[in-house]
């Protein structure tokens, strides 16, 4: 399911134009893509904040409506925020061709109770997101990983995960995703864990 966001075309560009847009509680944005000329836009700051809070991910396909026009299928490529004040400075929207695979980062979601944790081990989530390659309209909500069989000292790697038919993993097969560390080895294990 895709999500909807509205934007308006922005006439003034450059730093002065961007400041003017922000004074109006809007966020300067740009829309671009392989078949899309760069277009200057602005989106409501409050709407964008609510949108990101509810979706909790930038790797979701969005129906971007520009001033009531036909929806464009986009991904958020970058969000610039002020280093001190909690406000958005700029957003990049990337219009994706729906017939071409793309690589996106998808949140890892752990399910189950690990045997090792029940024995007193410490759960270590090494990768909070994983790169997957798929068509834009088949981006998974999350990568669900069952950790119930992980025991003390176990490390689960990308090559051991089972991808759904709609995507493939794009990280190196040897990449560690989650591990269960023994209580006595938890501190020194962090120093020398390379993979």
pLDDT at 169: 97
**Two tokens at 178?**
């989650």
Contact between residue 66 and residue 37 where contact means Cβ atoms under 8 Å apart: no
pLDDT at 87: 83
How many angstroms separate the most distant Cα atoms in the chain?
62
- Which of the residues in the chain have pLDDT under 70? 1-2, 12-18, 56-58, 185-195
Distances (CA, A) of 6 to 50, 68, 78, 100: 13, 8, 17, 24
Contact between residue 116 and residue 150 where contact means Cβ atoms under 8 Å apart: yes
pLDDT at 105: 92
**Two tokens at 102?**
């793309």
Which residues sit opposite 133 in a β-bridge?
103, 168
pLDDT at 64: 93
d(C-alpha 115, C-alpha 154), whole Å: 10
Sorted by where each starts, the structural domains of the chain and their CATH numbers stand as: 3-95 (2.40.240.10), 102-192 (2.170.120.20)
Of 128, 125, 120, 126, nearest in space to 185 by CA: 120
Tokens 């695979």 correspond to 101
Q: Say which residues have a Cβ less than 8 Å from residue 151's Cβ, sequence separation at least 6.
A: 114, 115, 116, 119, 121, 180
Query: pTM for this structure?
Result: 0.76
Contact between residue 81 and residue 69 where contact means Cβ atoms under 8 Å apart: no
pLDDT at 91: 93
């Amino acid at each position: 399911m895709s999500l909807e966001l509205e934007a308006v075309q922005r006439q003034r560009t450059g730093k002065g134009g961007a400041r003017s847009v922000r004074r109006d509680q809007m966020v300067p944005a740009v829309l671009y893509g392989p078949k899309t000329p760069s277009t200057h836009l602005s989106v409501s700051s409050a709407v964008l904040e609510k949108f990101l809070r509810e979706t909790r991910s930038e790797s979701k396909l969005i129906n971007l409506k520009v001033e009531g026009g036909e929806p464009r299928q986009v991904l958020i490529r970058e969000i610039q925020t002020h280093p001190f004040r909690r406000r958005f400075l700029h957003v990049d929207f990337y219009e994706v061709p729906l017939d071409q695979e793309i690589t996106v980062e998808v949140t890892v979601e752990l399910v189950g109770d690990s045997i090792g944790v029940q024995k007193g081990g410490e759960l270590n989530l090494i990768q909070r997101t994983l790169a997957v390659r798929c068509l834009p309209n088949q981006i998974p909500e999350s990568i669900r990983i069952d950790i119930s069989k992980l025991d003390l000292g176990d490390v689960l790697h990308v090559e051991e995960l089972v991808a759904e038919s709609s995507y493939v993993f794009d990280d190196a097969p040897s990449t560690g995703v989650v591990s269960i560390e023994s209580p006595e080895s938890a501190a020194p294990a962090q120093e020398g864990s390379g993979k």
